[in-house]
Amino acid sequence: MAYKDEQLHEEKVFKDPVHRYVHVKDRVIWDLIAAPEFQRLRRIKQLGTSNYTFHGAEHSRFNHSLGVYEIVRRIIYNFQDRPHWNKNERLLALCAALLHDLGHGPFSHSFEKAFKLDHEQFTQAIIMGETQVHKILERVEKGFAQKVADVIAKTYEDKLVVSLISSQIDADRMDYLQRDAYFTGVSYGHFDMERILRVMRPTEDQVVIKSTGMHAVEDYIMSRYQMYWQVYFHPVTRSAEVILSRILDRAKYLYETGDFAFKLEPTHFISFFEGKVKLEEYLKLDEMVVHYYFHLWQEEDDAILRDLCERFMNRRLFKYIEFNPNSQMNEWMELHALFEQAGIDPKYYLVVDSSSDLPYDFYRPGEEEERLPIHLLMPDKSLKELSRHSDIVEAISGKKRTDHKLYFPTDKLDEIVDEPVKERIYEILYGQGEIEDVD
């Protein structure tokens, strides 16, 4: 029997709090899960620094990746006798679903921003590099790894397969909304996934939704909207992200000066600091390693690095206020100057962080991000774009919401000796509204 058709002697299951069970029967999938590059995802949290806000948010990219695989497995089972679904793409879709987040680094998006990296590019590099994952995929057939990489890059010729993993209603989103809601303990991310899976229909280019399932999709979109603003963009989580990014900035700065002697040499970070990251070096860096450095950097001679690491490790986060530097440039410039005058480096202790989200959009030709809309399959077999039929979705379509916050440490402000400077700083800050606590 060919490797791609090989089945386990007995179906394996993972007990899962969201989907009850994740079922594995294919030898290829079982081998991929056992690969060290996939096992590494156990050491990458799904929600980065959200556990500083929601203490239960300790789940990993490993959990999520299994969940996405399971959803795609169920979708394919429902599609197997329907037109437009190519049964030969089954294993490809399952592999792409399982491996779609393989390239995430420690603290995921925060780490990406700090070093200007792209986890999808690293996912493709792992799949195509000298890795165990690549060897397993190539055992399926020569060129199979490239097909999986193409699905993740959204360039694969069968757009239906791509849409299962990357679209405005895909397995990735359906898993992380429910999983993140479960582990954070909130109720926002819940929607009727079973209903959505039942009304999904394959077409030549994408998955569409039977019109009778429109209300389940409305609920899904509103769940996504609420999760972004109540969980993913939570200001306390963002405060921890700000400190994390400033630790990495400071360590990089000290390394680049060339005259600072680290007590613990940042060996695992050097290629990131120099912008010459090799795949094997990327795979060695996970959150356990980063926490090890941060823990020991609390004893470094540099006061800023030492202070920021102590804050991160012990959850002494920055306070925040609503603040938009685009419309409050004068206040921003004055605060910047006052912090410098007080001996507090504004690069590390006065930080504006902005978040934005577009919960749903439809195709707008010529725009930088052309989004494939969700289509409803009407009783007459025609397709109708979701917002043209749903008043709820129409109300939020194309509406990007942006939120700006200014983060700073009030304990350092309280230590300012120059009273006029301290009073003026607080006058500006309190003039913008109440200073929010992060406890």
pLDDT tens digits, one per residue of 241-257: 999 999 999 999 999 99
Does the structure show a pLDDT above 60 at 363? Answer: no
The pairs formed by 300-307 with CB atoms below 8 angstroms and a separation of 24 or more are 300/262, 300/263, 300/264, 301/260, 301/261, 301/263, 302/250, 302/254, 302/260, 304/250, 304/345, 304/348, 305/247, 305/250, 305/251, 305/254
Average pLDDT, the chain: 92
pLDDT tens digits, one per residue of 318-345: 999 999 888 888 999 999 999 999 999 9
> Which residues have CB under 8 Å from 107's CB, separation 6+?
45, 48, 49, 241, 244, 287, 290
Report whether 244 contacts 107 (CB < 8 A): yes
Report whether 239 contacts 201 (CB < 8 A): no
pLDDT of residue 368: 42
Model pTM greater than 0.85?
yes
Report whether 189 contacts 156 (CB < 8 A): no
Among the listed residues 325, 333, 329, 334, the one whose alpha carbon sits nearest the alpha carbon of residue 352: 325
pLDDT tens digits, one per residue of 401-423: 888 999 999 999 999 999 999 99
Report whether 326 contacts 146 (CB < 8 A): no
User: What domains can be seen in the chain, in order of their start residue?
Assistant: 3-232 (1.10.3210.10), 234-315 (1.20.1250.30)
| % of the chain at pLDDT higher than 70 | 96
pLDDT tens digits, one per residue of 133-159: 999 999 999 999 999 999 999 999 999
Which of 17-21, 130-134, 226-230 shows the lowest per-residue confidence on average (mean pLDDT)?
226-230
pLDDT tens digits, one per residue of 108-127: 788 888 888 999 999 999 99
Each residue of 158-194: b (16+ CB within 10 Å) or e? bbbbbbbbbbbbbbbbbbbbbbbbbbbebebbbbebe
pLDDT of residue 402: 87
Phi, psi of 227 (to 5 degrees): -65, -40
pLDDT band at 358, cuts 50/70/90? confident
C-alpha span between 380 and 257 (Å, rounded): 68
Alpha helices in 26-106 (DSSP H): 27-34, 36-39, 61-79, 90-99
Tokens of 273: 């600091």
Strand 20-26, strand 351-357: pairing: unpaired
> Which residues have CB under 8 Å from 340's CB, separation 6+?
346
pLDDT of residue 438: 66
SS3 357: strand
C-alpha span between 40 and 42 (Å, rounded): 5
C-alpha span between 80 and 77 (Å, rounded): 5
pLDDT band at 366, cuts 50/70/90? very low
User: Which residue type occupies 17?
Assistant: P
* Three-point CA angle 199, 19, 173, nearest 5°: 60
Does the structure show a pLDDT above 60 at 367? Answer: no
Report whether 137 contacts 127 (CB < 8 A): yes
Which of 50-64, 85-99, 131-145, 324-338 shows the lowest per-residue confidence on average (mean pLDDT)?
324-338
| % of the chain at pLDDT higher than 90 | 80
pLDDT band at 370, cuts 50/70/90? very low
Does the structure show a pLDDT above 50 at 439? Answer: yes
The region, left, alpha or beta by phi > 0 then psi within -120 to 50, assigned to residue 20 is: left
- For 324, counting Cβ atoms within 10 Å of its Cβ (0-12 exposed, 13-18 middle, 19+ buried), the class is middle
